[in-house]
A and B are shown apart, each in its own frame.
Chain A
Amino acid sequence: MAEISRRKLISLGVGLMVGTLAGLPGSGYAQSAPKFGLPFQGEPSLGGWRMRQWYGNTQWAYRQRRALYSSGQGLHFGLDFFAPCGTAILAIGNGTVLAIDGPYGAAPHNLLISHPNGYVSLYGHLQERAKLRIGQKVQQGELVAFSGAPTGADCDTHPHLHLEIRPANLGGTVNPINLIEADWYNLALGLPGEGLLFQVNLDEPDLWQTIFDQPQVRFGGSLLNDFAHPWPIR
């Protein structure tokens, strides 16, 4: 019974999100969900930005659960977009600059914007310190930064934007997929890689297997994906 209910919920969630994105009637949750935009201008392209890693229970995050993502309960607690260094980053929603290069990781530079709906967006691995002031108002779609790479010197191999959405207390993250309007699956069609596939718990194979159905992260919490019987095996 619990299994049936869970599957119905997952199905309902996917249907609602797809319906909402397609402009169809949705649930109260879907209708009231904040409508953020993508942090890039124009369409994705091979020479420009494109999807690189989903939020949540990705295969890459699983492999890094005790290292890179240990403080994020083993999950990838944001979205990664491949983007050549220097790509313009846009605010995903109207808001106020909350922090610039604050103690929030995602080196070498980060930017936090607080939004009226209570969420905070974090833009990480920026190329340079954002040329904004704390407290400055920004509009959705406004250029706020330029993308970089984690070490600042690996633009040839690892250029990407790490985007998080956190609640106002900054104590965790939520799934940006459910808050940003985009044709997500189409953005990743045909792309290989551990970042775009989900780790399977062989004991509960439908757990966290869609881009919409991923758990919230509480920083400092215990690992959520330390599966006894995982696949792929690491």
Chain B
Amino acid sequence: MRFWLKTIARCRVIVFLLTLTACGDTNPTTLAPSPTPTLQPTAIITPNPSTPTVGPLPTLNLPTTTPLVTATPTQIPPTDQPFSPTTRQILPPACCRNFGFSPDNKLYYYDKPAGQPKPATYLFDPITSQSQQLFAGFGNFSSDLSLVAVSNSKTGLINIEKVKDGSLLAKLPHKTTEVIFSPDNSHLAYLVRSSRQDGPEEPQLFELWAEKIDGTELRTVSRLREGANLAWFPDNRRLLLTARDEANQRFGLWVIDLESGKATLVVESKGLIAASLSSDGEYLAYAVTLQSKSEIWLAKSDGTQAVKMGWVGGWRWSSSSKNELYYIPARSSGETANALWVYNLTTEKANRLTDPAILPLKIALDEWQMSPDNKTLVYRNAVDNALWLLRFRN
């Protein structure tokens, strides 16, 4: 794969974070010293006799070597958009957590609007600019918004419900941050952080769990450390995540096959902090920091043919076009606003979709989402903290 980045340049402003690490552990006491929290010896989680199908990460395949290809930055191409992008505020300042798009390009979000007694999840129609309640609470939704994983307000455990009528499909025996539904809604998967690690101990222990949507076949898939960035492949059988193995020896990006139980380390790196799959599961983008090869990379989903992207910033895969990666590079000094770019994997070309001189984007907290029709983007405007809609295609 030779496809990356003859055309992408810039981005000397670079920032990257090492995730999931202890920090800021100062002692606020002004009168007498107290011990600064320190890292504790790592505890090894012991199997729970009642836990089904427990096991460590299976034997690994040979890891793919660290990417070595580097794209050569060139001049920034001008935008060739015949359409003039526009922006407009769609929802008020401070509104809207956990927002995303429905398959029909409506925006869902969690909020407590003025005058409403309780917060809820709403669906906003960009055409009519009207919102209606989608769900009377907060949850993680399936991509088609038909299913929701919702936390029981008393126990904190997760229920799987149908959004339409609230009927209960399954009860998970865990508190967990994020449940992800397989693309066909047949299975779900989630990470559970070890409850034995409430302190600053690192690396954090996790268990990866999966089950069928009706609650059957619940099982621990793997035990691991520092698990994050969990995603389904379109085949509804494999999972992608960043993690270390339980022995804390192998770090990187893993693909786990739920049928065979095989775990494959497709990218090995101690500094891998983010990763995401293209909509067809053929490609992945990932960020590496801490090492000399720190960068954002694009590769085949088996880790091969990795190439450096030449910029640092936020990115999102198109959810409907399998060959497009949208990205917003961080500004270098002297630049006053961000621009939206798209990289086409078929043509191997990058194209700037907005001109920061004409349409300045300033995005807060990397909060932005692409619509499935690849025509609009919703972002949190750093200027007013409201949600704005950018239309960049007709």
Residues in chain B near residue A193, CB distance under 8 A = 17-20, 273
Least CB distance, A18 to chain B, in whole angstroms: 5
A147 to B169, CA, bound (A): 52
Q: Is A169 an interface residue (CB 8 A)?
A: yes
Q: How large is the interface on A (under 10, 10 to 19, 20 to 34, 35 or more residues)?
A: 35 or more
Residues A105 and B25 in contact in the complex (CB < 8 Å), given A10-B94, A47-B294, A205-B111:
yes
Interface of B: prevailing SS: loop
Partner-binding segment picked from A30-38, A61-69, A89-97:
A61-69
Q: Is B92 an interface residue (CB 8 A)?
A: yes
A16 to B187, CA, bound (A): 47
Q: Is A7 an interface residue (CB 8 A)?
A: yes
Residues in chain A near residue B98, CB distance under 8 A = 200, 231
Partner-binding segment picked from B28-36, B60-68, B127-135, B215-223:
B28-36
Interchain CB contact under 8 A, A160 and B36: no
A43 to B273, CA, bound (A): 21
CB within 8 A of A234: which of B22, B27, B193, B386? B193
CB within 8 A of A162: which of B25, B110, B119, B229? B25
Interchain CB contact under 8 A, B24 and A69: yes
Q: Is B281 an interface residue (CB 8 A)?
A: no
Of listed B23, B92, B313, residue having the most chain A CB within 10 A: B23
Residues in chain A near residue B138, CB distance under 8 A = 202, 229, 231
Interface of A: prevailing SS: loop
Interchain CB contact under 8 A, B26 and A190: no
Residues in chain B near residue A209, CB distance under 8 A = 94, 97
Residues in chain B near residue A164, CB distance under 8 A = 26
Residues in chain B near residue A219, CB distance under 8 A = 28-30
Smallest Cβ-Cβ distance to B38: which chain A residue: A151
A1 to B116, CA, bound (A): 11
Residues in chain A near residue B114, CB distance under 8 A = 1, 3-4, 7
Least CB distance, A111 to chain B, in whole angstroms: 12
Instruction: Tell me the count of chain B residues lying within 8 A, CB to CB, of chain A.
Output: 85
Least CB distance, B97 to chain A, in whole angstroms: 5
Smallest Cβ-Cβ distance to B139: which chain A residue: A231
CB within 8 A of A205: which of B32, B112, B294? B112
A38 to B139, CA, bound (A): 38
Least CB distance, A4 to chain B, in whole angstroms: 5
Smallest Cβ-Cβ distance to A64: which chain B residue: B200
A233 to B155, CA, bound (A): 11
Interchain CB contact under 8 A, B26 and A106: yes
Residues A14 and B20 in contact in the complex (CB < 8 Å), given A66-B198, A190-B330, A206-B95:
no
Q: Is A51 an interface residue (CB 8 A)?
A: yes
Residues A15 and B383 in contact in the complex (CB < 8 Å), given A52-B18, A202-B119, A202-B138:
yes
Residues in chain A near residue B193, CB distance under 8 A = 234
Q: Is A136 an interface residue (CB 8 A)?
A: no
Residues A105 and B28 in contact in the complex (CB < 8 Å), given A4-B114, A150-B38:
yes
Smallest Cβ-Cβ distance to B32: which chain A residue: A103
Partner-binding segment picked from A73-81, A127-135, A137-145:
A73-81
Q: Is B37 an interface residue (CB 8 A)?
A: yes
Smallest Cβ-Cβ distance to B92: which chain A residue: A7
Residues in chain A near residue B295, CB distance under 8 A = 46
Beta-carbon contacts under 8 Å, B186-243 to A:
193, 198-200, 202, 228-229
Q: Chain A 173-207 against B: per-residue CB contact (8 Å), 1 yes, 0 no?
A: 10000000001011111111111111010111110
Interchain CB contact under 8 A, A210 and B13: no
A109 to B273, CA, bound (A): 28
Residues in chain B near residue A78, CB distance under 8 A = 24, 26
Residues in chain A near residue B23, CB distance under 8 A = 52-53, 60, 76, 80, 150, 158, 160, 162, 195
CB within 8 A of B156: which of A10, A51, A171, A233? A233
Q: Is A50 an interface residue (CB 8 A)?
A: yes
Smallest Cβ-Cβ distance to A193: which chain B residue: B19
Q: Chain B 230-270 against A: per-residue CB contact (8 Å), 1 yes, 0 no?
A: 00000000000000000000000000000000000000000
Closest 4 CB pairs of A and B: A105-B27, A11-B93, A103-B33, A105-B26
- Not counting A188-B366, A231-B151, a sample of 17 additional A-B residue pairs whose C-beta atoms are within 8 angstroms of each other reads A18-B382, A51-B15, A67-B37, A80-B24, A82-B18, A82-B289, A103-B29, A103-B30, A106-B25, A150-B22, A162-B24, A186-B331, A189-B338, A190-B315, A210-B365, A229-B138, A229-B153
27 CB < 8 A contacts A-B: A11-B94, A14-B382, A46-B289, A46-B294, A50-B17, A52-B17, A64-B22, A67-B37, A67-B199, A68-B22, A68-B25, A71-B28, A104-B30, A105-B25, A105-B29, A185-B362, A185-B382, A186-B331, A187-B13, A187-B15, A190-B330, A195-B19, A198-B365, A206-B94, A229-B153, A233-B151, A234-B193
